[in-house]
Structure 1
Protein backbone atom coordinates (compact mmCIF):
# COMPACT_ATOMS: atom_id res chain seq x y z
CA UNK A 1 0.00 0.00 0.00
CA UNK A 2 1.42 3.41 -0.94
CA UNK A 3 1.95 6.04 1.77
CA UNK A 4 -0.75 8.29 0.31
CA UNK A 5 -3.32 5.56 1.09
CA UNK A 6 -1.94 4.69 4.53
CA UNK A 7 -3.38 6.51 7.52
CA UNK A 8 -1.95 7.96 10.70
CA UNK A 9 -3.20 10.16 13.51
CA UNK A 10 -3.23 13.95 13.53
CA UNK A 11 -4.50 14.43 17.04
CA UNK A 12 -7.68 12.37 17.16
CA UNK A 13 -8.25 12.66 13.41
CA UNK A 14 -7.12 10.04 10.95
CA UNK A 15 -5.30 11.49 7.96
CA UNK A 16 -3.23 10.18 5.08
CA UNK A 17 0.38 9.62 6.11
CA UNK A 18 1.70 11.91 3.41
CA UNK A 19 -0.47 14.78 4.72
CA UNK A 20 0.59 14.81 8.36
CA UNK A 21 3.87 16.71 7.98
CA UNK A 22 2.08 19.56 6.19
CA UNK A 23 -0.64 19.65 8.85
CA UNK A 24 1.94 19.79 11.64
CA UNK A 25 3.80 22.50 9.74
CA UNK A 26 0.61 24.55 9.65
CA UNK A 27 0.22 24.26 13.42
CA UNK A 28 3.68 25.62 14.10
CA UNK A 29 3.53 28.26 11.39
CA UNK A 30 0.55 29.59 13.31
CA UNK A 31 2.16 29.67 16.76
CA UNK A 32 5.88 30.30 16.05
CA UNK A 33 5.94 33.97 17.02
CA UNK A 34 4.43 33.32 20.47
CA UNK A 35 5.72 29.82 21.05
CA UNK A 36 7.95 30.72 24.01
CA UNK A 37 5.24 32.73 25.72
CA UNK A 38 2.77 29.87 25.35
CA UNK A 39 5.28 27.37 26.74
CA UNK A 40 5.67 29.49 29.85
CA UNK A 41 1.94 30.00 30.27
CA UNK A 42 0.79 26.44 29.68
CA UNK A 43 3.48 24.83 31.87
CA UNK A 44 3.61 27.64 34.45
CA UNK A 45 7.32 27.91 33.59
CA UNK A 46 8.07 24.32 34.61
CA UNK A 47 9.18 23.41 31.06
CA UNK A 48 12.48 25.15 31.86
CA UNK A 49 13.12 22.67 34.70
CA UNK A 50 12.24 19.72 32.47
CA UNK A 51 14.72 20.90 29.85
CA UNK A 52 17.42 21.58 32.43
CA UNK A 53 17.12 18.00 33.71
CA UNK A 54 17.30 16.66 30.15
CA UNK A 55 20.55 18.55 29.59
CA UNK A 56 21.96 17.11 32.82
CA UNK A 57 21.07 13.58 31.70
CA UNK A 58 22.71 14.16 28.31
CA UNK A 59 26.23 14.16 29.74
CA UNK A 60 27.28 16.60 27.00
CA UNK A 61 30.67 18.22 27.54
CA UNK A 62 33.23 20.40 25.79
CA UNK A 63 34.21 19.52 22.24
CA UNK A 64 31.28 17.24 21.49
CA UNK A 65 28.91 17.20 18.51
CA UNK A 66 25.20 17.47 19.36
CA UNK A 67 22.17 17.12 17.09
CA UNK A 68 19.01 18.76 18.44
CA UNK A 69 15.94 17.66 16.50
CA UNK A 70 12.69 19.64 16.53
CA UNK A 71 14.66 22.47 18.13
CA UNK A 72 11.82 24.96 18.04
CA UNK A 73 13.11 28.22 19.46
CA UNK A 74 16.29 26.59 20.74
CA UNK A 75 15.95 26.07 24.50
CA UNK A 76 17.99 22.86 24.45
CA UNK A 77 20.36 23.99 21.70
CA UNK A 78 21.16 27.17 23.63
CA UNK A 79 22.21 25.16 26.68
CA UNK A 80 24.21 22.67 24.62
CA UNK A 81 26.04 25.48 22.83
CA UNK A 82 27.39 26.70 26.14
CA UNK A 83 28.44 23.18 27.16
CA UNK A 84 30.28 22.11 24.00
CA UNK A 85 32.24 25.35 23.79
CA UNK A 86 34.16 26.70 20.79
CA UNK A 87 35.61 23.28 19.88
CA UNK A 88 32.19 21.64 19.75
CA UNK A 89 29.16 21.92 17.49
CA UNK A 90 25.40 21.98 17.99
CA UNK A 91 23.24 21.36 14.92
CA UNK A 92 19.85 22.93 15.48
CA UNK A 93 17.10 21.48 13.29
CA UNK A 94 13.37 21.67 12.71
CA UNK A 95 11.03 20.54 9.96
CA UNK A 96 9.28 23.89 10.18
CA UNK A 97 11.07 26.84 8.54
CA UNK A 98 9.30 29.51 10.62
CA UNK A 99 10.27 27.79 13.87
CA UNK A 100 13.86 27.36 12.71
CA UNK A 101 14.17 31.03 11.73
CA UNK A 102 12.68 32.09 15.06
CA UNK A 103 15.13 29.82 16.87
CA UNK A 104 18.11 31.02 14.83
CA UNK A 105 17.29 34.66 15.54
CA UNK A 106 17.06 33.89 19.24
CA UNK A 107 20.40 32.07 19.21
CA UNK A 108 22.06 35.00 17.46
CA UNK A 109 20.58 37.36 20.06
CA UNK A 110 22.20 35.15 22.73
CA UNK A 111 25.59 35.29 20.99
CA UNK A 112 25.54 31.61 20.04
CA UNK A 113 26.68 32.02 16.42
CA UNK A 114 30.13 30.44 16.57
CA UNK A 115 29.35 26.79 17.34
CA UNK A 116 25.77 26.38 16.12
CA UNK A 117 24.64 25.14 12.71
CA UNK A 118 21.10 25.10 11.31
CA UNK A 119 19.27 22.66 9.07
CA UNK A 120 15.65 22.20 8.07
CA UNK A 121 15.22 18.44 8.25
CA UNK A 122 12.62 15.74 8.71
CA UNK A 123 13.55 13.60 11.74
CA UNK A 124 12.63 10.48 9.77
CA UNK A 125 15.23 11.19 7.06
CA UNK A 126 18.34 12.66 8.64
CA UNK A 127 20.80 13.99 6.03
CA UNK A 128 23.87 13.21 8.14
CA UNK A 129 26.44 10.40 7.83
CA UNK A 130 26.15 7.50 10.23
CA UNK A 131 28.08 7.82 13.51
CA UNK A 132 28.20 11.64 13.39
CA UNK A 133 27.02 12.82 16.82
CA UNK A 134 27.88 12.25 20.46
CA UNK A 135 24.36 13.14 21.58
CA UNK A 136 21.01 13.45 19.81
CA UNK A 137 18.00 15.05 21.46
CA UNK A 138 14.41 15.68 20.49
CA UNK A 139 12.37 17.82 22.85
CA UNK A 140 8.58 17.86 22.54
CA UNK A 141 8.81 16.87 18.89
CA UNK A 142 8.58 13.10 18.57
CA UNK A 143 4.81 13.04 19.02
CA UNK A 144 4.49 15.20 15.88
CA UNK A 145 6.57 12.85 13.73
CA UNK A 146 4.57 10.73 11.30
CA UNK A 147 6.63 7.53 11.68
CA UNK A 148 8.15 7.59 15.16
CA UNK A 149 9.95 4.27 14.77
CA UNK A 150 11.61 5.48 11.59
CA UNK A 151 12.80 8.61 13.39
CA UNK A 152 14.25 6.58 16.28
CA UNK A 153 16.02 4.32 13.77
CA UNK A 154 17.50 7.39 12.06
CA UNK A 155 18.65 8.80 15.40
CA UNK A 156 20.40 5.55 16.24
CA UNK A 157 22.20 5.49 12.88
CA UNK A 158 23.44 9.08 13.22
CA UNK A 159 24.73 8.52 16.76
CA UNK A 160 28.34 7.57 17.40
CA UNK A 161 29.17 4.43 19.39
CA UNK A 162 29.30 5.48 23.02
CA UNK A 163 26.76 8.25 22.42
CA UNK A 164 23.29 8.69 23.81
CA UNK A 165 19.90 9.86 22.64
CA UNK A 166 17.27 11.61 24.73
CA UNK A 167 13.58 12.03 24.02
CA UNK A 168 11.89 14.69 26.14
CA UNK A 169 8.16 14.43 25.61
CA UNK A 170 4.74 14.67 27.18
CA UNK A 171 3.72 11.27 28.45
CA UNK A 172 1.13 9.46 30.58
CA UNK A 173 0.47 10.63 34.16
CA UNK A 174 1.18 7.87 36.67
CA UNK A 175 -0.99 9.34 39.44
CA UNK A 176 -4.71 8.75 38.85
CA UNK A 177 -6.07 11.97 40.48
CA UNK A 178 -3.50 13.97 38.49
CA UNK A 179 -4.70 12.37 35.27
CA UNK A 180 -8.24 13.73 35.72
CA UNK A 181 -7.01 17.22 36.55
CA UNK A 182 -4.62 17.11 33.59
CA UNK A 183 -7.41 16.11 31.19
CA UNK A 184 -9.61 18.95 32.42
CA UNK A 185 -6.78 21.43 31.98
CA UNK A 186 -5.72 20.09 28.56
CA UNK A 187 -9.12 20.05 26.89
CA UNK A 188 -10.87 22.94 28.62
CA UNK A 189 -8.32 25.55 29.66
CA UNK A 190 -5.38 25.05 27.28
CA UNK A 191 -7.29 25.74 24.02
CA UNK A 192 -8.75 28.89 25.58
CA UNK A 193 -5.23 30.12 26.51
CA UNK A 194 -4.16 29.40 22.94
CA UNK A 195 -7.09 31.38 21.57
CA UNK A 196 -6.31 34.33 23.84
CA UNK A 197 -2.56 34.45 23.26
CA UNK A 198 -2.08 33.20 19.69
CA UNK A 199 -5.65 33.53 18.35
CA UNK A 200 -5.40 29.85 17.50
CA UNK A 201 -7.57 27.56 19.60
CA UNK A 202 -7.38 24.62 17.19
CA UNK A 203 -3.59 24.26 17.35
CA UNK A 204 -3.65 23.86 21.11
CA UNK A 205 -6.54 21.43 20.92
CA UNK A 206 -4.35 19.42 18.55
CA UNK A 207 -1.54 19.66 21.12
CA UNK A 208 -3.72 18.05 23.78
CA UNK A 209 -4.90 15.33 21.40
CA UNK A 210 -1.41 14.57 20.10
CA UNK A 211 -0.19 14.01 23.65
CA UNK A 212 -2.95 11.45 24.25
CA UNK A 213 -2.04 9.59 21.05
CA UNK A 214 1.67 9.43 21.91
CA UNK A 215 3.07 6.07 23.13
CA UNK A 216 3.22 5.63 26.89
CA UNK A 217 6.49 5.30 28.77
CA UNK A 218 6.97 1.54 28.44
CA UNK A 219 5.89 1.47 24.80
CA UNK A 220 8.36 4.20 23.86
CA UNK A 221 11.16 2.44 25.71
CA UNK A 222 10.37 -0.68 23.69
CA UNK A 223 10.50 1.33 20.47
CA UNK A 224 13.93 2.68 21.39
CA UNK A 225 15.16 -0.84 22.08
CA UNK A 226 13.76 -1.94 18.72
CA UNK A 227 15.80 0.83 17.07
CA UNK A 228 18.95 -0.67 18.62
CA UNK A 229 19.43 1.48 21.72
CA UNK A 230 20.70 -0.28 24.83
CA UNK A 231 20.44 0.43 28.56
CA UNK A 232 17.22 2.34 27.86
CA UNK A 233 15.56 4.06 30.78
CA UNK A 234 13.12 6.85 31.44
CA UNK A 235 12.51 9.44 34.11
CA UNK A 236 8.98 10.59 34.93
CA UNK A 237 8.69 14.29 35.68
CA UNK A 238 5.72 16.08 37.23
CA UNK A 239 3.94 12.81 37.92
CA UNK A 240 4.53 11.46 34.42
CA UNK A 241 3.03 14.42 32.58
CA UNK A 242 6.46 14.57 30.98
CA UNK A 243 9.06 11.82 30.64
CA UNK A 244 12.67 11.79 29.50
CA UNK A 245 13.67 8.61 27.69
CA UNK A 246 17.34 7.83 27.27
CA UNK A 247 19.14 5.20 25.25
CA UNK A 248 22.77 4.43 24.42
CA UNK A 249 24.57 3.23 21.31
CA UNK A 250 27.24 0.88 22.62
Structure 2
Protein backbone atom coordinates (compact mmCIF):
# COMPACT_ATOMS: atom_id res chain seq x y z
CA UNK A 1 0.00 0.00 0.00
CA UNK A 2 1.37 3.37 -0.90
CA UNK A 3 1.04 6.52 1.18
CA UNK A 4 -2.39 7.57 0.02
CA UNK A 5 -3.15 10.81 1.74
CA UNK A 6 -3.97 12.05 -1.74
CA UNK A 7 -7.61 12.92 -1.78
CA UNK A 8 -10.15 15.14 -3.46
CA UNK A 9 -9.61 18.71 -2.18
CA UNK A 10 -13.36 19.25 -2.27
CA UNK A 11 -14.80 15.99 -0.94
CA UNK A 12 -18.48 15.29 -1.36
CA UNK A 13 -20.56 16.30 1.64
CA UNK A 14 -22.19 13.63 3.75
CA UNK A 15 -25.72 13.78 5.00
CA UNK A 16 -25.74 16.38 7.77
CA UNK A 17 -26.83 14.98 11.15
CA UNK A 18 -29.96 16.51 12.61
CA UNK A 19 -29.50 19.08 15.32
CA UNK A 20 -29.51 16.93 18.44
CA UNK A 21 -26.89 18.97 20.26
CA UNK A 22 -23.13 18.35 20.17
CA UNK A 23 -21.53 15.79 22.42
CA UNK A 24 -19.93 17.53 25.40
CA UNK A 25 -17.52 16.50 28.15
CA UNK A 26 -20.07 14.20 29.74
CA UNK A 27 -21.80 13.02 26.58
CA UNK A 28 -20.85 11.22 23.39
CA UNK A 29 -22.47 10.31 20.11
CA UNK A 30 -24.70 7.29 19.64
CA UNK A 31 -25.49 7.76 16.00
CA UNK A 32 -27.06 11.19 15.75
CA UNK A 33 -28.00 11.24 19.43
CA UNK A 34 -25.89 12.72 22.20
CA UNK A 35 -26.02 10.34 25.16
CA UNK A 36 -24.25 10.22 28.55
CA UNK A 37 -20.88 8.53 28.06
CA UNK A 38 -21.70 5.75 30.49
CA UNK A 39 -24.76 4.80 28.42
CA UNK A 40 -23.03 4.27 25.08
CA UNK A 41 -21.42 0.90 25.77
CA UNK A 42 -24.69 -0.75 26.89
CA UNK A 43 -26.46 0.75 23.87
CA UNK A 44 -23.79 -0.51 21.46
CA UNK A 45 -23.81 -3.90 23.17
CA UNK A 46 -27.55 -4.14 22.62
CA UNK A 47 -27.09 -3.36 18.91
CA UNK A 48 -24.55 -6.14 18.42
CA UNK A 49 -26.45 -8.59 20.62
CA UNK A 50 -29.30 -8.06 18.18
CA UNK A 51 -27.31 -8.45 14.95
CA UNK A 52 -24.65 -11.02 15.98
CA UNK A 53 -26.29 -14.10 14.47
CA UNK A 54 -26.86 -12.37 11.13
CA UNK A 55 -23.84 -10.10 11.14
CA UNK A 56 -22.02 -11.72 8.21
CA UNK A 57 -25.14 -11.93 6.07
CA UNK A 58 -25.95 -8.31 6.71
CA UNK A 59 -22.35 -7.22 6.03
CA UNK A 60 -22.57 -8.84 2.61
CA UNK A 61 -25.86 -7.12 1.91
CA UNK A 62 -24.78 -3.76 3.33
CA UNK A 63 -21.61 -3.62 1.24
CA UNK A 64 -22.70 -5.80 -1.69
CA UNK A 65 -19.85 -8.07 -0.65
CA UNK A 66 -17.20 -5.38 -1.04
CA UNK A 67 -16.23 -5.61 2.65
CA UNK A 68 -14.55 -8.93 1.79
CA UNK A 69 -12.32 -7.16 -0.76
CA UNK A 70 -11.49 -4.45 1.78
CA UNK A 71 -10.51 -7.08 4.34
CA UNK A 72 -8.29 -8.86 1.84
CA UNK A 73 -6.48 -5.57 1.20
CA UNK A 74 -6.30 -5.00 4.95
CA UNK A 75 -4.84 -8.44 5.62
CA UNK A 76 -2.30 -8.01 2.83
CA UNK A 77 -1.20 -4.74 4.43
CA UNK A 78 -1.00 -6.51 7.79
CA UNK A 79 1.69 -8.79 6.27
CA UNK A 80 1.36 -11.85 8.54
CA UNK A 81 4.59 -13.50 9.68
CA UNK A 82 5.07 -16.60 11.87
CA UNK A 83 7.12 -14.81 14.50
CA UNK A 84 4.63 -12.00 15.10
CA UNK A 85 1.75 -11.89 17.59
CA UNK A 86 -1.59 -10.29 16.70
CA UNK A 87 -4.14 -8.61 18.95
CA UNK A 88 -7.42 -8.21 17.06
CA UNK A 89 -9.72 -5.72 18.81
CA UNK A 90 -13.46 -5.75 18.12
CA UNK A 91 -12.72 -8.97 16.26
CA UNK A 92 -16.38 -9.70 15.66
CA UNK A 93 -16.92 -12.87 13.69
CA UNK A 94 -13.22 -13.36 13.01
CA UNK A 95 -12.47 -12.31 9.42
CA UNK A 96 -9.27 -10.39 10.23
CA UNK A 97 -7.97 -12.97 12.69
CA UNK A 98 -8.65 -15.80 10.24
CA UNK A 99 -6.92 -13.89 7.46
CA UNK A 100 -3.89 -13.43 9.70
CA UNK A 101 -3.69 -17.14 10.53
CA UNK A 102 -4.38 -18.27 6.96
CA UNK A 103 -1.59 -15.96 5.78
CA UNK A 104 0.96 -17.58 8.06
CA UNK A 105 0.82 -15.19 11.00
CA UNK A 106 1.89 -16.13 14.51
CA UNK A 107 -0.27 -16.48 17.64
CA UNK A 108 -3.44 -14.40 17.67
CA UNK A 109 -5.69 -13.08 20.41
CA UNK A 110 -9.17 -12.38 19.08
CA UNK A 111 -11.18 -10.05 21.30
CA UNK A 112 -14.50 -8.26 21.38
CA UNK A 113 -16.42 -6.36 24.05
CA UNK A 114 -19.56 -8.21 22.99
CA UNK A 115 -19.78 -11.82 24.18
CA UNK A 116 -22.33 -12.84 21.54
CA UNK A 117 -20.19 -11.55 18.69
CA UNK A 118 -17.13 -13.29 20.13
CA UNK A 119 -19.09 -16.54 20.49
CA UNK A 120 -19.98 -16.41 16.79
CA UNK A 121 -16.32 -15.84 15.97
CA UNK A 122 -15.23 -18.73 18.18
CA UNK A 123 -17.72 -21.08 16.52
CA UNK A 124 -16.48 -20.02 13.09
CA UNK A 125 -12.86 -20.60 14.17
CA UNK A 126 -13.65 -24.13 15.33
CA UNK A 127 -15.50 -24.86 12.08
CA UNK A 128 -12.45 -23.71 10.11
CA UNK A 129 -10.01 -25.73 12.16
CA UNK A 130 -8.30 -22.79 13.87
CA UNK A 131 -7.74 -24.48 17.23
CA UNK A 132 -4.05 -23.72 17.80
CA UNK A 133 -2.27 -20.39 18.17
CA UNK A 134 -5.63 -18.70 18.76
CA UNK A 135 -7.14 -17.44 22.00
CA UNK A 136 -10.37 -15.56 22.71
CA UNK A 137 -11.11 -12.92 25.31
CA UNK A 138 -13.86 -10.41 26.07
CA UNK A 139 -11.97 -7.11 26.03
CA UNK A 140 -12.91 -3.44 26.20
CA UNK A 141 -10.57 -1.86 23.64
CA UNK A 142 -10.37 1.26 25.81
CA UNK A 143 -8.76 -0.77 28.63
CA UNK A 144 -6.72 -3.61 27.15
CA UNK A 145 -5.71 -6.13 29.87
CA UNK A 146 -2.24 -6.79 28.41
CA UNK A 147 1.21 -5.62 29.50
CA UNK A 148 3.02 -2.79 27.79
CA UNK A 149 4.98 -3.76 24.67
CA UNK A 150 3.54 -7.27 24.45
CA UNK A 151 2.26 -7.69 20.85
CA UNK A 152 3.56 -7.01 17.34
CA UNK A 153 0.34 -6.04 15.55
CA UNK A 154 -2.93 -4.54 16.77
CA UNK A 155 -5.95 -4.39 14.49
CA UNK A 156 -9.48 -3.07 14.71
CA UNK A 157 -11.89 -3.54 11.83
CA UNK A 158 -15.22 -1.70 11.71
CA UNK A 159 -15.13 -1.36 15.49
CA UNK A 160 -13.49 1.94 16.35
CA UNK A 161 -16.54 4.03 15.48
CA UNK A 162 -18.56 2.14 18.09
CA UNK A 163 -16.12 2.93 20.91
CA UNK A 164 -16.94 5.66 23.40
CA UNK A 165 -13.40 7.05 23.74
CA UNK A 166 -11.66 6.54 20.42
CA UNK A 167 -8.45 8.25 21.52
CA UNK A 168 -8.23 5.88 24.48
CA UNK A 169 -8.40 2.93 22.07
CA UNK A 170 -5.61 4.32 19.89
CA UNK A 171 -3.43 5.09 22.92
CA UNK A 172 -4.02 1.61 24.34
CA UNK A 173 -3.11 0.07 20.99
CA UNK A 174 0.18 1.95 21.02
CA UNK A 175 0.84 1.03 24.66
CA UNK A 176 0.63 -2.73 24.08
CA UNK A 177 2.68 -2.64 20.87
CA UNK A 178 6.32 -3.63 20.97
CA UNK A 179 8.77 -1.12 19.51
CA UNK A 180 8.55 -1.68 15.77
CA UNK A 181 4.95 -2.84 16.11
CA UNK A 182 2.09 -1.53 14.02
CA UNK A 183 -1.55 -0.57 14.59
CA UNK A 184 -3.97 -0.86 11.67
CA UNK A 185 -7.59 0.28 11.53
CA UNK A 186 -10.15 -0.51 8.83
CA UNK A 187 -13.22 1.66 9.14
CA UNK A 188 -15.92 3.40 7.16
CA UNK A 189 -14.78 6.89 6.27
CA UNK A 190 -15.62 10.01 4.28
CA UNK A 191 -16.76 9.64 0.67
CA UNK A 192 -14.46 11.62 -1.63
CA UNK A 193 -16.23 11.20 -4.97
CA UNK A 194 -18.96 13.80 -5.39
CA UNK A 195 -21.10 11.69 -7.71
CA UNK A 196 -21.08 8.81 -5.23
CA UNK A 197 -22.31 10.78 -2.19
CA UNK A 198 -26.08 10.98 -2.95
CA UNK A 199 -26.21 7.31 -3.97
CA UNK A 200 -24.35 6.32 -0.81
CA UNK A 201 -26.62 8.43 1.38
CA UNK A 202 -29.75 6.93 -0.15
CA UNK A 203 -28.34 3.43 0.32
CA UNK A 204 -27.36 4.14 3.93
CA UNK A 205 -30.51 5.82 5.17
CA UNK A 206 -33.22 4.23 3.07
CA UNK A 207 -32.07 0.79 1.95
CA UNK A 208 -30.03 -0.41 4.95
CA UNK A 209 -32.62 0.22 7.67
CA UNK A 210 -35.25 -1.44 5.47
CA UNK A 211 -33.04 -4.48 4.97
CA UNK A 212 -32.35 -4.55 8.69
CA UNK A 213 -36.07 -4.61 9.33
CA UNK A 214 -36.75 -7.37 6.80
CA UNK A 215 -33.75 -9.63 7.37
CA UNK A 216 -32.61 -9.03 10.94
CA UNK A 217 -36.01 -7.83 12.24
CA UNK A 218 -34.20 -4.81 13.63
CA UNK A 219 -34.51 -1.50 11.80
CA UNK A 220 -33.19 0.65 14.64
CA UNK A 221 -29.82 -1.12 14.90
CA UNK A 222 -29.10 -0.60 11.21
CA UNK A 223 -30.26 3.00 11.41
CA UNK A 224 -27.69 3.45 14.18
CA UNK A 225 -24.98 1.76 12.09
CA UNK A 226 -25.61 4.17 9.21
CA UNK A 227 -25.59 7.18 11.52
CA UNK A 228 -22.44 6.02 13.33
CA UNK A 229 -20.55 6.04 10.02
CA UNK A 230 -21.47 9.70 9.44
CA UNK A 231 -20.33 10.67 12.94
CA UNK A 232 -16.92 9.03 12.57
CA UNK A 233 -13.85 11.23 11.93
CA UNK A 234 -12.79 11.70 8.32
CA UNK A 235 -9.50 10.37 6.95
CA UNK A 236 -7.31 13.34 7.87
CA UNK A 237 -8.85 13.77 11.32
CA UNK A 238 -8.30 10.12 12.22
CA UNK A 239 -4.72 10.31 10.93
CA UNK A 240 -4.15 13.29 13.25
CA UNK A 241 -5.56 11.26 16.15
CA UNK A 242 -3.04 8.50 15.42
CA UNK A 243 -0.24 11.06 15.54
CA UNK A 244 -1.57 12.64 18.73
CA UNK A 245 -1.53 9.19 20.37
CA UNK A 246 2.19 8.92 19.63
CA UNK A 247 2.17 6.69 16.55
CA UNK A 248 4.72 7.36 13.82
CA UNK A 249 4.78 7.11 10.03
CA UNK A 250 0.99 7.44 9.99
CA UNK A 251 -0.70 6.96 6.65
CA UNK A 252 -4.03 6.00 5.18
CA UNK A 253 -5.52 4.53 2.04
CA UNK A 254 -9.06 5.34 0.95
CA UNK A 255 -11.03 2.43 -0.47
CA UNK A 256 -13.98 2.53 -2.90
CA UNK A 257 -13.98 6.29 -3.24
CA UNK A 258 -13.58 6.86 0.49
CA UNK A 259 -16.46 4.68 1.67
CA UNK A 260 -13.85 2.94 3.80
CA UNK A 261 -10.21 3.61 4.68
CA UNK A 262 -7.24 1.81 6.17
CA UNK A 263 -5.19 3.83 8.66
CA UNK A 264 -1.89 2.64 10.08
CA UNK A 265 0.85 3.82 12.39
CA UNK A 266 4.00 2.40 13.97
CA UNK A 267 5.32 2.41 17.49
CA UNK A 268 8.98 3.36 17.22
TM-score (norm. length: structure 1):
0.96
The answer (yes or no) to whether the contact 1:74–1:92 under 8 Å persists in 2 is yes
Which structure has the highest helix share of the two?
1
The answer (yes or no) to whether the contact 2:154–2:184 under 8 Å persists in 1 is yes
Please name the residue that 1:44 is paired with.
64
The answer (yes or no) to whether the contact 2:188–2:259 under 8 Å persists in 1 is yes
Please name the residue that 1:66 is paired with.
86
Could you say which structure has the greater relative contact order, defined with CA pairs below 8 angstroms and 6 or more residues apart? 2
Distance in 2 (CA, whole Å) between partners of 1:30 and 1:163 is 35
The runs of at least 4 aligned residues of structure 1 exceeding 3 Å deviation read none
What RMSD, in angstroms, separates the aligned Cα atoms of the two structures?
Answer: 0.9
Please name the residue that 1:79 is paired with.
99
- Which runs of 5 or more structure 2 residues have no equivalent in the other structure? 1-24
Greater Cα shift, 149-158 or 76-85: 76-85
- Which runs of 5 or more structure 1 residues have no equivalent in the other structure? none
TM-score (norm. length: structure 2):
0.90
Match of 1:92 among 82, 96, 110: 110
Distance in 2 (CA, whole Å) between partners of 1:82 and 1:177 is 37
The answer (yes or no) to whether the contact 1:94–1:119 under 8 Å persists in 2 is yes
The answer (yes or no) to whether the contact 1:171–1:241 under 8 Å persists in 2 is yes
Match of 2:39 among 19, 36, 39: 19
Aligned pair count reads: 244
Shift in Å, 1:176: 1.1
Deviations 1:183-204 (A, max 9, x none): 1110000100111110000000
Shift in Å, 1:219: 0.3
Deviations 1:64-103 (A, max 9, x none): 1000000110000111122345xx2110000000000010
The answer (yes or no) to whether the contact 1:60–1:135 under 8 Å persists in 2 is no
The answer (yes or no) to whether the contact 1:94–1:120 under 8 Å persists in 2 is yes
